Structures are given as structure tokens and as C-alpha cells.
Structure 1
Amino acid sequence: MKPDYLIVGSGLSALVFGSLMAKSGKKVQVLEAHEYPGGFGHTFTMAKKYKFNAQLHYVWDCGEGQTVNRVLKKLNLEKDVTFERYDPNGFDHMRMLGYSLDIPSESQELIRRLADLFPKDADRIHKFILEVQKTSEGLQKLSPPLIPTELFQHFGQVSCALKYLNSTLQDVFDKFKLPQEAQTLLALQWPDFLLPPNRLSFYAWVILFTGYQKGAFYPTKHFEYVIDSLVKIIEENGGEILFNHEVTNFLVTNNKVIGVQAKDAIANQIREFIAETIICNMDPKKAAQIIGAEKFSQRVRQRLNYDYSPSNYMVYCVVKDIDLRDYGFGKWNTFHTGHRDLNEAFNLMYEQHDFSNPSFAITTPTLMTEEQRDCPEGCQIIEFLTVANYDYFKHLRDTDKKAYNQKKEEILDFILDAAEKNYIPNLRKYIVFKITGSPTTNERFCWCPQGNSYGSNLTPRNMGIGRLNHKTSLKNFYFCNASSGYPGFAATFWTGAILYQRLSGDLILGNS
């Protein structure tokens, strides 16, 4: 019997959609090109004893009554899949030469801390933070499904949000004339977007910044358990996930997608899969290229004309005979920059490939939860993340593998130099395992075109009214991924749940 829903890809939004549909009694089948489920949320094991999550570091919207919690309740998982909250007194630790700021959950406390650092600019800072909160409230009311009465009742917040439709974060910094150092401290979690203030959509920054203020979280049993729990719901309710199945063609008849062809990497053969409805978790632009762009409406083709987000460079390390808590690490992330201006820092690393004075994120997943370990007793994990240019790394990898590996090592050394100078003296001597990942690693293991980390680029152009959604103009065919929703853990939960809600009529989120 053919499934009700054939899902191409097992990224987080697809697993949320699939688990909700399976739980509701629908027959679900998932095809995944990789050997692991979860997309960028998948966990891999190295040296048979160290586990690392590919990309996720911390998440938001997981508190009681929020998006993730409501979905988990619908799946009866809320008591099993739980989360540890980051320190609300400072969930992000911002560090730059001469300045230090811990971002608290309370906006008034954030205003006070910034005013202490920049007393002459206290009034501007106060007005900026209040504008951020007002914009956040307006964006919540503008998120689907729109409720006209809510828009009218919150007209002030909605109109505040709408005026920044085409604004970058830098535009708003400039409007409020914030001092450069305050701008850098507030935008220092730029690795969460892989864009600097002068390219990043103000909307994207507000959504994430205020989302984390309401609660930054880490899964009690790590991200692998979240992914495995969603997979289990699908399988326990009669669905299946077929790994090592790369979809190579979509079967289209009379403007209707009826199935796909997929290469079974284990059996080394092409198989055909037919279903009532096809859900595409594959990158929409890539899927459209396979199907043929001409088969889509002009409006959808315009929305598919997005540019990809930049890619990243990752360092996964295991340390032994040291407790990172003794060096200022704990239930928070640390963001470091050697530059006063993040736009300049980004340009040097992304455009000029100069990492001699890097700006990067540090995360310590083994300090977030005590329930389960991702490494042996006595060890801890520390990870570093920064931006990297896909075209540059691909060219190196294709033309000079030795130069490619040397560049990865060079960046690693610059990051470790900065870490040793500013945070952990002699860090290198405690490292018992390390592995680096480049943009081409992303492309190879996460199947993301051009190694992109977030699907479509989070610029004002891609975050506006014309952003792609689940609608494809083809019958029985829907997009469901970061580029047709929004990137990030909570946002992909929302994307999968909203599509489930629209196709099933079962209201979970309402206006959220």
C-alpha cells in the first residue's frame, strides 16, 4: 500500500512533520540520502567513543507552552524529551578587547549592564532595546497563521515591525547611533547567522536574540536523543525511514508530483516510490532544478531565486585532565572577537580568508547536562565555530588537497592561539582528540548545496514578505525545510508543525 506521505529527506522539520502525521494515523515513508537522520541536527561518532552534533549548539522556544513544548506534548514526548536551561543571568558571554558583556534574559538588566559600560549612550541604548522588544512582539503577530483581530489590537507593535522590513541590523544600529563597541557586543553571536550586522536582516537578529532571552536551552539527553525520539514515533506508528536513498528524480504527471526515483546506495540500484503526497525536505532550489524550474509558477520561481547562506568552519575537540568550568565556561556560550568592528572581521575571514585575528563562537556541550555523556568519564567537549567561504575551500579541495588541509590546520592554530591567550592557557596539551570540518564537509555529510548552513541567506531580501513557503504550485507537493520556513531548531519544529497543521486541520500552534 502506498504511503499517505512520502518525505524526501530527514531533516528536523521533516521528522517533526512525519512524526505528527504518523501519530495521527497516516502512513509515512521517509527517504534519507545519508546514513543518519536529522540533517544538520544529526550526531556522529568518532574514535568509537566521542559523539558530536553536526551543527546544533543551543536552542530556544522550548519552555512550557512554547513551540517545541507544544509539539512534544502532541507526540506525548514532553516528559521524556526535556531541556536544560542556560544561565538566565548570562546565556551568551560576549568577549572583545577591553569589553565583556554577559547577555541576561531580562531586558531591563541588559539595558543596565550596557549603560554601565557606555554611560554617555545610556538613553540611546535604552531606546534601542525597547525597539527590539516592540519589533519582536510585532513579528510574533505577523507570523502565520495571521489573525486580523490580533493585528488590529497590536497595531503599534505590528507597524513597528513592518517599518524594518528591508533593514539590516547595521541600519538599526545606525538609526539609534549606538557606539561601535556596543554594536559589536550586541551582535557578537553573529556565528548563529554567519552574517555580520551590515548584511544580516534585522528581523532574523530580533527573532533569535529575543527568542534566547525568553530561554536558551540544551537537550537533557543531547540532540541525538531528540532526533531518535522523533524517528521512533514514526516507526512505532507504522512508518519507515530508508537510509542511503538519494532522490535523483521526481515523477511529475499533469502538474502533479506522484512519486520519486531514488538511488539505493547499499543495493546500488534505482528504486521508484509512489505516494499520495510528497513532502520535500530537500533544498527547494535543488529540488526545482531536478524537476525543472519551468514546471513551477512564476511566483514560486521568483521565490526560489534565493542565494544560499554562507558556510562555516567547525572544530570539535575533546579535552582531558582539565575542568573547563575552572576557566569561565559553563551553562552558556562564549563569543570572541579580536576586532572592534564585526563587519570588518567578517570581511577578512569570509572574503579574504584571513583568520589571523579570528572572531568565533565557543560551546561546551558536556557542561550543559549531567544526565548522559557524549564522551568518556574525565573528558569534556569543547567546540569552536566561525564562518568560511565555500567557493574558496572547494577550489582548494579540488585543486590542491595538501593546501586544503594546510588551510584547515592554519585556521585551527589561529583559533587555539586566541583560546589559549584569552581563556585556557596551554589548551593544546589537554586536547586528546580533535577534528575539523569545512564548507565542503557540510556539503558532503549534510547534503547542503554550497555547504550552506541555513538554507537561504538571512539577508533582508530573503527574510521579507516574498520569502518562500510550503506552497510549490505543483499538486500534492510541498516544501518543508529551512529555506521554506526558517532555520534553527525551534524554527524547523515550527515549520514542520505548521505544515502538518495546514494539511491535517489539527491546530497545535495557532499564532505562535
Structure 2
Amino acid sequence: MGTDYLIVGSGLSALVFGALMAQAGKRVEILEAHEHPGGFGHTFTMAKKYRFNAQLHYVWDCGEGNTVNRVLQRLGLDRTVTFERYDPQGFDHMRMPGYKLDVPGEMELLIQRLSQQCPEGTQEIRQFLHTVQQVRQGLKCLSPPIRPQLLLQNFGAVLTAIRYLNSTLQEVFDRFNLPKPAQTLLALQWPDFLLPPEQLSFYAWVILFTGYQEGAFYPTRHFEHVINSLVQVIQSHGGTVHLNQEVQAFILDGKTVKGARVVDRLTHQSQEYYGDTVICNLDPKKAAQMIGLEKFTPQVQRRLDYDYSPSNYMAYCVVKDLDLRDYGFGAWNVFHTEDPDLNQAFRRMYEQHDFSRPSFAITTPTLLTSAERDCPEDCQIIEFLTVANYDYFHQLQQTDKQAYHRKKEAILETILDIMERQYIPNLRKHIVFKITGSPTTNERFCWCPQGNSYGSSLTPRNMGLGRLNHQTSLNHFYFCNASSGYPGFAATFWTGAILYQRLSGDPILTTA
């Protein structure tokens, strides 16, 4: 006997979809290969006392009435799953040689601050950021489900948005003749995309940049609480989350997907699960290859032909007897670059594997909430993130594991050199724990092909009209994943909720 909805994978979009369906009275079963649910949102513990999130750092669209809040309200979680807002006067601190910019939530204040840094480009800065606001409004109107009345009311903004459909961020920078320092300061949060301006979709940058301006947040009780709360909703309504269940194959009857065959990673026993509807939270391209690409329509096959996003390098560190607030850290992120040319910095790190002048992000989760500790009282956590090439690290790991570990350590040492020189003297003396992750770590622990961080790469090609959606062309089988929706915390909430809305007819996000 099968269930109503068999969900393969327990990433955030799948948990949102599963929780909404379970609450609506449907039978839900989730299969997860990992020992923890949550995909990139899962939390792991090291040395029995330090907790780190796999990938998430800060989130948006969590304010009253926004997507995340509306989903949590529907699930009865909005009072227990709450968020702390980053400093609206400067949620991102951009740092590069000779320039500093604290990015505020208010656009006019951003124009003023950026113009002070680049007075020769005041007019270009104002025109560019005004266009960003127009494109953001137009994209909101174009976001499914589309409402014709909204399109007509915002016709000018919609036209502006359409004009930049195939543009990269760099192309738009150049179109407005933005001063080079202004370009770098605005694009310095590039680790949020793991793409440089010359490759990054202008749409992707606008959505994230303005989304964070409207409110950058961190969960009051960390990301683990968010994941556990969604799982609890599923279980409290009779649903089940099966861990350590690795899918080996999908079970088909002609063009209909009936279920999945799995192997238990602990007992090594095989089992089959069935569902009236199968929801695929696995990477769609990987799932399609398991099923047989020829079984999908040519249109879906074309949409499945996407490039994976680059992967990343992470360093998780714990410091003791040191208050990071004394050194300029707090309720914000810090983005640092040694090279003011971000395109060049990216090529050096990603293509040449040269991290001698890195560009990287710094986040301090311990300083973002006081409701629940992620480490002992006398410690704080600081994390570093930058881009890394999967092929390079994979080959290194396969051919010379010592060289692989040396490379990871060398990157951290370079970052710590910069930290001690420009932020925290003698930082190393206070580090009591450190662990690094590479693209192969992502692949091993988060089950993402080629260690990708965002599913499909956020280029104009992958963000355009031909982007994959939930439709698979197979019967009773739907995609629900970052590559078939959008990546990131808020976007995966939207992806799971919008699929629930389409399949159930329950207008949770819109009344259209």
C-alpha cells in the first residue's frame, strides 16, 4: 500500500511541501539518504559541543506577510519559528582596499553612501539603483502565478524588467557606466551566488540584493530549529521521514512514476516505497538520468540541460576568550576582497586555484541571536566562505589526499593572515576548533552532484524563460528542488509552497 505523496529527498522545499500536505490531511512519506533531514539546511555537531549549519548564513523574505512568514503562519509555526533582523543600517559590510560600504536597507541612504565613496559617479549610481528598483518591481509582477491586473498596473516596471532578461550584472554595470569601485562594492556579496558579475544573471542579483534590503534575517533558534519544526509538523500529522534511505531507482509503469527503490545505508537492505504522487527533491538532472532521459519530452529534456552552479570552500572556526564584537563584527556579514576586480578574483580562485588574493565572506552566527547557543558560553563561531572548483578538489582528493588536505589548510591560513592583518590581531591564538569543507565535502554530505551549491548555475541562460519548473512530463511525478524552483532559504520555501498550491488548489501565497 502506498502513500498519497512519496517525497524523495528532504531538502527545505520538500519539507515545506510535505508539511503543508500533511497538515492538509494527506499521507506523506519522505525518503532521505542522509542521517539528517534538511539538505543544505541541515546542522551538524562537532566535538560534541559546536554546532554548524552546512550552508545557510542569512535569509530574506521572512518579514510579516512575506513568503516564509505566510507559510509558517499556515503551519502554526510563526510564533515558535521566529527570526532576528540584521542591522538595517548595514546588514552587509563591504570591505576592499581603500573603500568601505555598509549596505543599508533604505535605497536612498545606499545611494548617498555609495556616492560618498564614488562622488564622480553620483548620477550613474542613482540611475542604476533606480533601475534596480524598477526591475525588482517588474520581477515581482512576473513571478508565478501571474496576475494580468498586476501586470497592467505596473506595466512600466514590467517592461524594464523584460529589457534585462538575458543580461549579466556586469553588462548592466557597463551600460550605466558605473565607477569600478561602485561596481565592486555592490557586487561584493558575490559569494551568495558563487558567480562573478560577468557571469551572474542580473535578475538573480536584483532579487537577492533587494530582498536583503527589505530585511535580512537569522533564525532566533538557528536553522536546526526551522528544519526540526517542519519535520515535527509532518510527523504530528501522521507523516514519516525515513533517514539513511538512498534511492537506487524509480519504479515506473510506462510513463507513470509509481515509487522508488531504496537501500538502507545502515542495514544495506533494499525496500520499495510507493505513492499516488511522487515528488522529486533530488537534483532533477540526476533523477532524470536514473529514470532515463528518453522518457521525458524534448522540451523537458532541454530544460534539464543546465549547468551546475560552482561549489564552495567553507571554514568553520571557534574562538575562545575573544569577543568578536570588539573587532567590528555583529548583526551583519562582512565581505572582503583583496582584489578590487571581482571577475579577475573569481577566475584566479576558480580557474587557476590560486587563493593568494582571495575574496571571501565572513559570518558570525553566535552574534546573531542570544536565544540559543551554538557553542559554549566562553566561545564564539566565525565562518569563512569562498568559491572552489569541484573538478580540481575531486582530482586532488582522488590522487593525493595529503595534498588535498594541505590545500584546504593553505586557503584557511591565507584568510587568517588577512584577518589578523586587517581585522583581529592574534586571531589564531584564540582558535580552539577549526574544520574546513571543500566541494567534495558538499557532494559527500549534502548529496549534490559535483558539489554544486545552488543547483543550476545562476547565469542568464539558466534564469531565463527556459528554466526548469515542477513539470516533468511524466504522470504523477513532479520536481521540487532548487533547480526546478529557485535556490536559497526563502526561495525554497516559495518553491515548496507554490507546488503545494498548484497540486492542492489551496491559495496559500496568492488569491489568484
Which interval holds the TM-score relative to the shorter structure? over 0.9
Secondary structure, aligned partner of 2:3 = coil
Task: Tell me the residue number matched to 1:421.
Answer: 421
Q: Is the 8 A contact 1:92 1:103 kept in 2?
A: yes
Q: Is the 8 A contact 1:497 1:508 kept in 2?
A: yes
Secondary structure, aligned partner of 1:4 = strand
Residue by residue over 1:431-453, the C-alpha shift from the partner in whole angstroms, topping out at 9 and shown as x without a partner, is: 00000000000000000000000
Q: Is the 8 A contact 1:472 1:479 kept in 2?
A: yes
Task: Tell me the residue number matched to 2:97.
Answer: 97
Kindly tell me the number of residue pairs found equivalent between the two proteins: 512
Task: Tell me the residue number matched to 2:118.
Answer: 118
Q: Determine whether 1:158 maps to 2:158.
A: yes
Residue by residue over 1:154-205, the C-alpha shift from the partner in whole angstroms, topping out at 9 and shown as x without a partner, is: 1100000001010000000000001111100000000000000000000000
Task: Tell me the residue number matched to 1:140.
Answer: 140
Q: Cα distance, 1:267 vs. partner?
A: 1.9
Residue by residue over 1:187-226, the C-alpha shift from the partner in whole angstroms, topping out at 9 and shown as x without a partner, is: 0000000000000000000000000000000000000000
CA distance in 2 between partners of 1:251 and 1:162 (Å): 41
Which runs of no fewer than 5 residues in structure 1 stay unpaired?
Answer: none
Task: Tell me the residue number matched to 2:64.
Answer: 64
Q: Determine whether 1:51 maps to 2:51.
A: yes
CA distance in 2 between partners of 1:212 and 1:456 (Å): 21
Q: Cα distance, 1:23 vs. partner?
A: 0.5
Residue by residue over 1:206-259, the C-alpha shift from the partner in whole angstroms, topping out at 9 and shown as x without a partner, is: 000000000000000000000000000000000000000011100111200011
Residue by residue over 1:239-288, the C-alpha shift from the partner in whole angstroms, topping out at 9 and shown as x without a partner, is: 00000001110011120001110111122111101110000000000000
Residue by residue over 1:478-498, the C-alpha shift from the partner in whole angstroms, topping out at 9 and shown as x without a partner, is: 000100000000000000000
Letter in 1 for 2:9: G
Q: Determine whether 1:177 maps to 2:177.
A: yes
Task: Tell me the residue number matched to 2:277.
Answer: 277
CA distance in 1 between partners of 2:503 and 2:259 (Å): 18
Task: Tell me the residue number matched to 1:3.
Answer: 3
CA distance in 1 between partners of 2:64 and 2:356 (Å): 43
Name the TM-score, length of structure 2 as normaliser.
0.99
Task: Tell me the residue number matched to 1:24.
Answer: 24
CA distance in 2 between partners of 1:279 and 1:335 (Å): 37
Q: Cα distance, 1:511 vs. partner?
A: 7.8
Secondary structure, aligned partner of 1:347 = helix
Change (3 A) 1:345 1:511: farther
Task: Tell me the residue number matched to 1:200.
Answer: 200
Task: Tell me the residue number matched to 2:253.
Answer: 253
Task: Tell me the residue number matched to 2:432.
Answer: 432
Task: Tell me the residue number matched to 2:446.
Answer: 446
CA distance in 2 between partners of 1:122 and 1:199 (Å): 26
Q: How does 1:464-475 map to 2 (within 5 A)?
A: 464-475=464-475
CA distance in 1 between partners of 2:180 and 2:119 (Å): 14
CA distance in 1 between partners of 2:217 and 2:487 (Å): 16
Letter in 1 for 2:136: S
Secondary structure, aligned partner of 1:159 = helix
Q: How does 1:232-247 map to 2 (within 5 A)?
A: 232-247=232-247
Q: After superposing the two structures, state which structure 1 stretch, 190-199 or 149-158, moved more.
A: 149-158
Name the TM-score, length of structure 1 as normaliser.
0.99
Secondary structure, aligned partner of 1:59 = coil
Task: Tell me the residue number matched to 1:286.
Answer: 286
Q: Cα distance, 1:330 vs. partner?
A: 0.2
Q: Cα distance, 1:153 vs. partner?
A: 1.4
Give the aligned CA root-mean-square deviation in angstroms: 0.8
CA distance in 2 between partners of 1:414 and 1:325 (Å): 22
Task: Tell me the residue number matched to 1:395.
Answer: 395
CA distance in 1 between partners of 2:501 and 2:128 (Å): 36
CA distance in 2 between partners of 1:98 and 1:116 (Å): 13
Residue by residue over 1:350-399, the C-alpha shift from the partner in whole angstroms, topping out at 9 and shown as x without a partner, is: 00000011100000000000000010111000000000000000000000
Runs of 4+ more than 4 Å apart: none
Task: Tell me the residue number matched to 1:310.
Answer: 310
Secondary structure, aligned partner of 2:45 = strand
Which runs of no fewer than 5 residues in structure 2 stay unpaired?
Answer: none
CA distance in 2 between partners of 1:159 and 1:445 (Å): 43
Q: After superposing the two structures, state which structure 1 stretch, 114-123 or 327-336, moved more.
A: 114-123
Letter in 1 for 2:282: M
CA distance in 1 between partners of 2:508 and 2:308 (Å): 31
CA distance in 1 between partners of 2:89 and 2:41 (Å): 27
CA distance in 2 between partners of 1:471 and 1:357 (Å): 43
CA distance in 1 between partners of 2:391 and 2:510 (Å): 41
CA distance in 1 between partners of 2:277 and 2:466 (Å): 25
Secondary structure, aligned partner of 1:410 = helix
Q: Is the 8 A contact 1:307 1:457 kept in 2?
A: yes
Task: Tell me the residue number matched to 1:494.
Answer: 494
CA distance in 1 between partners of 2:133 and 2:511 (Å): 18
Q: Determine whether 1:301 maps to 2:301.
A: yes
CA distance in 2 between partners of 1:360 and 1:366 (Å): 19
Q: Is the 8 A contact 1:147 1:511 kept in 2?
A: no
Task: Tell me the residue number matched to 1:73.
Answer: 73
Letter in 1 for 2:417: D
